[in-house]
Amino acid sequence: ETDETEWKELHGCQNVTHTECDFSSAITKYYDTHHVHIRAERREEVSPWSSIFEMIPYFIAQIGPPGVQLQSTNGVIKIKVSPPEANQVQKMWLADTLFKYTLVIWENSSNAEFRNRSIFPTDVIDDLAPDTTYCLKVQAVLTSESHEGLFSPIHCVKTTHKAVSDLLCATNVSVFALNMKFHLHWNNQYKQHVSYNVQYLTGYLKTFPDQRSVNWLNVPGCENITNTQCNFSSIITTSGCYYLRVQAMSEYNRSCLSDEIEVNPLVTNEIGPPDVKVDISDLLLHIQISPPGGSESEVMRDYYDWSYRVLYWKNSSNNEEEIKMKEIKQTIGTVSDLTSSTLYCLKVQAFSKFYNKSSLFSKEECIKTPGDKILPLIILATFVTALIAVLLLAMPLIFALYQAYNKIKYVFFPSCQPPLNIEGFGGELLSSPYVSTTEEPIENCCIIETIITEEVNQIDFKDYKNSKQSSRDSGNYSNNDDASGSKVSEEMLEKEIV
C-alpha cells in the first residue's frame, strides 16, 4: 500500500504455492499508486522481503477482449460488439462509450490478406464475396490514450448468397446542401405505388452498444411522401454528424431500407456566394462584403470564421489582362494599386481555413476609376476661386485708396481757379477761399403819421384809412414795433368816431 508503515495482507496471495496469484479482489482504487512486496515462507523460516514493486492498477491493466455476435444474412455479416467489461458493476474503463473497435477480417483460405477497419458496436460488413467463409477478430481501442485492447477470439462465418436487389429500395441516396439548407434526393425503379419515410439518427448515438444506436427517427415533413426528395434542414444543427436513410414502403406492407448516408453539416454543404458592394474614391477601391448565407449568416459566420479572396482585373477589350488576388480577413477592404481612367471588375469568394472550404464566387462588380481630367479641373477651379477671393479683397482696398487720393487732391491741388478781375486774390496763397461779406445796413423804417384832431372829416378819415392802409401795405421794411404802435393809435381814433 501507499504508506510504507502500513503494509496489509494481499488477499488472494496468501499461502500461495505457485509463483503467481490473483489479487483482483484486493484492488479497488484503480488510480492510486500501490506498493507490493513478497516473501517466501517455509514452516518457521521466513525470507526477507523482496524489493518493492510499485504500480498504478489503471496503467498496468490491459483492455480485455470484447464480446462478438455475428449474423450472416443476404451476403453481408451483421456484427454486434459488446464492450470488454459489459456486465461488471465496478469497471476499470469508465468511459467505455468511447471505445472504438477495430475489426480484422480475412478469407479462410491460404494467402488471404488481412483487412483492418474501424467499426461501430452495431455494424454491417458488406464488402464481401457471397458464399465464402471469412474469419474475423475484434479489439477495443481507447484512441485518446493510444491503448489497444486484447483481441477477441477468432470467429469464422460463411456468407450467404446475395439476394436479387429489390427494386422497391431507394437507390443513389445523396445530399444536396447550400449553406444551411439540406435536401435529400434518391431514385426509385419500382413500377407500382411507393411511399417513403425518411429517417435520421444523430451521429453520437452510433457509438453506443445498446438500442440507442438503432433508434432512428422520422424526419418531420418527410413521412409517407411520394416524391423522391426531402428537405431535412429542420433536424440539422451545427453540433455534429447525422445519418440519414430512406425507407420505401409498398402497398403490400413490404418495406425496404436504403443505404445510410452520413451528413456532417459544416463539411458536406456547398457554400453560397457572398454579397459585394463596391465604391470608388480617387484611386482607392472600397469593398464591402456580406458573408455567405444571407438570413442564416449568423450561424454560418459563427462556425466558419470566414476569410475572403478578392479577385480583380482590368476589364478591357484585350482579354489577356492579369487577374490579381487579395486576401482580406474583415468584411471591408480596399484595393489601392489602380490606374486611373480604367474599368476594373472584381469578384469575391469566402473561404474557411479550418474546413478547407471555399464558397461560390459573388457576382462580378465593375467600376471605373476616375481619370486625370479631374486633376486639371481641380487646379482650374482652385485658381479661379483664389482669383475671385483676391479680387474681393482687393476691390475695397483700391476703392479706399482712390477716395483718399481724391480728397488729398481736392485739398492740396484744387482744380478751380478764382476769377482774375478780383483784386488781391491773385497772389495771395494763403488767403481764405471764402470771400467775406460786409454787413448790410439795416434801416429802421417807421411810418411817420400821427392823427390827433377829433374834427377830422369822415370822408377824409376814410380816405385817410385807405391811405393809411395803403401806406401800411407799402411799409414792407418797417419794424413790427412801430407798426403795432400805429395800430393802437388807430383804435383810439375809431372809438372816438363811434
Partner 1 sequence: IMNAFGLIQIGLILLCTTTISSLQCNHLPLQQRKVIEKSLQLLDKMGKKFPQQCLKEKMSFRFPEQVLKPRQKETVKVAIEEIFHHIFYIFSKNLTLASWDGTALEQFQNGLYQQIEQREACVIKKQTHYFRNKDVNRLKLKKYFQKIDCFLKDKQHNLCSWEISRAETRRCLQLIDKVIRKL
Q: Which residues bind partner 1 (CB under 8 A)?
A: 31, 56, 58-59, 73-74, 76, 94-98, 100, 118, 120, 123-124, 126-127, 143-148, 163-166, 168-169, 202-204, 206-208, 237-241, 243, 247, 249, 253-260, 262, 264, 267-268, 302-303, 305, 353-356
Those residues with Cβ within 8 angstroms of residue 376's Cβ, 6 or more apart along the chain or in another chain: none
Alpha-helical runs (H) found in 15-64: 57-60
Nearest alpha-carbon partner for 196 in 175, 227, 174: 227
d(CA 311, CA 325) in angstroms, rounded, equals: 5
Q: Which is nearer to partner 1, 243 or 361 (CB)?
A: 243
Contact 72, 102 (CB under 8 A): no
Question: What would the grid cell of residue 72 be?
Answer: 450472416
Enumerate the β-bridge partners of residue 279: 286
DSSP 213-228: GG--EEEEEEEEE-SS
Shortest reach from residue 335's CB to partner 1, in Å? 27
Q: Which is nearer to partner 1, 240 or 294 (CB)?
A: 240
d(CA 7, CA 372) in angstroms, rounded, equals: 96
Q: Which is nearer to partner 1, 138 or 493 (CB)?
A: 138
Q: Which is nearer to partner 1, 69 or 237 (CB)?
A: 237
Those residues with Cβ within 8 angstroms of residue 410's Cβ, 6 or more apart along the chain or in another chain: none
User: How crowded is residue 274: how many other Cβ atoms within 10 Å of its Cβ?
Assistant: 24
Q: Which is nearer to partner 1, 65 or 370 (CB)?
A: 65
Question: What would the grid cell of residue 218 be?
Answer: 422520422
Shortest reach from residue 193's CB to partner 1, in Å? 17
Shortest reach from residue 98's CB to partner 1, in Å? 5
Shortest reach from residue 44's CB to partner 1, in Å? 42
DSSP 8-state secondary structure symbol assigned to residue 410: H
d(CA 192, CA 181) in angstroms, rounded, equals: 31
Shortest reach from residue 385's CB to partner 1, in Å? 55
Amino acid occupying residue 276: V
Contact 10, 25 (CB under 8 A): no
Q: Which is nearer to partner 1, 125 or 289 (CB)?
A: 125
Shortest reach from residue 389's CB to partner 1, in Å? 59
d(CA 216, CA 205) in angstroms, rounded, equals: 10
Question: What would the grid cell of residue 257 be?
Answer: 431500407
Shortest reach from residue 191's CB to partner 1, in Å? 17
Q: End-to-end alpha-carbon separation of the chain, Å?
A: 173
Q: Which is nearer to partner 1, 90 or 318 (CB)?
A: 90
Those residues with Cβ within 8 angstroms of residue 32's Cβ, 6 or more apart along the chain or in another chain: 2, 56, 57
Shortest reach from residue 239's CB to partner 1, in Å? 4
Shortest reach from residue 275's CB to partner 1, in Å? 24
Shortest reach from residue 100's CB to partner 1, in Å? 8
Question: What would the grid cell of residue 31 be?
Answer: 488510480
Amino acid occupying residue 325: M
Q: Which is nearer to partner 1, 123 or 276 (CB)?
A: 123
Q: Which is nearer to partner 1, 215 or 341 (CB)?
A: 215
Q: Which is nearer to partner 1, 189 or 237 (CB)?
A: 237
SS3 at position 289: strand
Shortest reach from residue 63's CB to partner 1, in Å? 10
224-237 CB burial, b ≥16 within 10 A, e <16:
ebeebebebbebbe
Q: Which is nearer to partner 1, 261 or 278 (CB)?
A: 261
